[in-house]
Amino acid sequence: MKVVLTIAGSDSSGGAGIQADLKTFEAFGVFGTSAITVLTAQNTTGVQHIFPLPLDFIAQQIHSVLNDFEISAIKIGMLYDGAIIRMVTQIVAPLNIPIVLDPVCISKAGSLLLQDDAVDALRDLSRIVTLSTPNLNEAYRLFGYKSGDTDSLQTLISHPAPVLIKNHILNTISIDLLYFGHQKRVFTSELIDSTNLHGAGCSLSSAIAANLALGYCLEESIDRSKVFITEAIRHAPSIGHGAGPINHKGGGAYVA
């Protein structure tokens, strides 16, 4: 069985963060391990509090897993501040395995989820990973990307690692754009009209990591992951009083 590591924050509501990552790994038949970076008090209505764990303890979690398991891929999620990002970068840089970075810094609604001093460090980390998966707000903060603005593509063209920019919408179609050098690939899926999107971004990046661990190429991994997310949103349980979580079991049924 392939083993995948998630380095990310904990979501007390169970819909995003490491909880979503582990559910996604299970849906794809890989074994999930985790290193928690921050604890959050949150639910479907928002994040009420963030508590970063001590730096040395985060590092001990990562080393504990790496020293025992043969890790086939890593997903990196919420890192919160510059010190955590630089420490994680130092640990993962020598590893010769797929690494998917979900650069959690700005929510879909525009809420800041990253300390101001950490943006440069996160941008540096994005240069050494297999893939980064920012939403539109994060892509603008990290790379100056604006949808439809050709001038803003220059930063992406010169970026040394692939970047998948999520959440473009055209009528009834959801579009993600993969940039790698001068190459561009368009991934489309049905746009599900739903407010139950909590954890969709976390789960997409962890699904891509799981598929890379299983031996699929990057583009196949993205394709399979978009199918998973689409169905997980379609079959969301509609629980909570805000943006409800997706249904990982419902998504997994379509990619087994």
- Residues 53-79 pLDDT 10s: 999 999 999 999 999 999 999 999 999
Residue 183 within any structural domain of the chain: no
- Residues 220-234 pLDDT 10s: 999 999 999 999 999
Looking at residue 107, its pLDDT comes to 59
Q: And the tokens for 220?
A: 């196949």
Residue 152 within any structural domain of the chain: no
Residue 177 within any structural domain of the chain: no
Mean residue pLDDT across the chain: 93
Residue 56 within any structural domain of the chain: yes
In angstroms, the CA 189 to CA 152 distance is 25
- Residues 2-27 pLDDT 10s: 999 999 999 999 999 999 999 999 99
Domain of residue 238 covers: 3-143+194-252
Looking at residue 109, its pLDDT comes to 52
Residue 81 within any structural domain of the chain: yes
In angstroms, the CA 17 to CA 127 distance is 22
Residue 205's CATH number: 3.40.1190.20
Q: Which helix (H) or strand (E) holds 208?
A: helix 200-213
% pLDDT > 90, the chain: 78
Residue 39 within any structural domain of the chain: yes
| Residue bearing the bigger pLDDT, 148 or 56 | 56
Residue 187 within any structural domain of the chain: no
Q: How many CB atoms lie within 10 A of CB 54?
A: 8
Start-to-end C-alpha separation, the chain: 15
| Residue bearing the bigger pLDDT, 256 or 77 | 77
212 pLDDT higher than 90: yes
Structural domain count, the chain: 1
In angstroms, the CA 165 to CA 178 distance is 6
Residue 169 within any structural domain of the chain: no
Burial of 216 (0-12, 13-18, 19+ CB in 10 A): middle
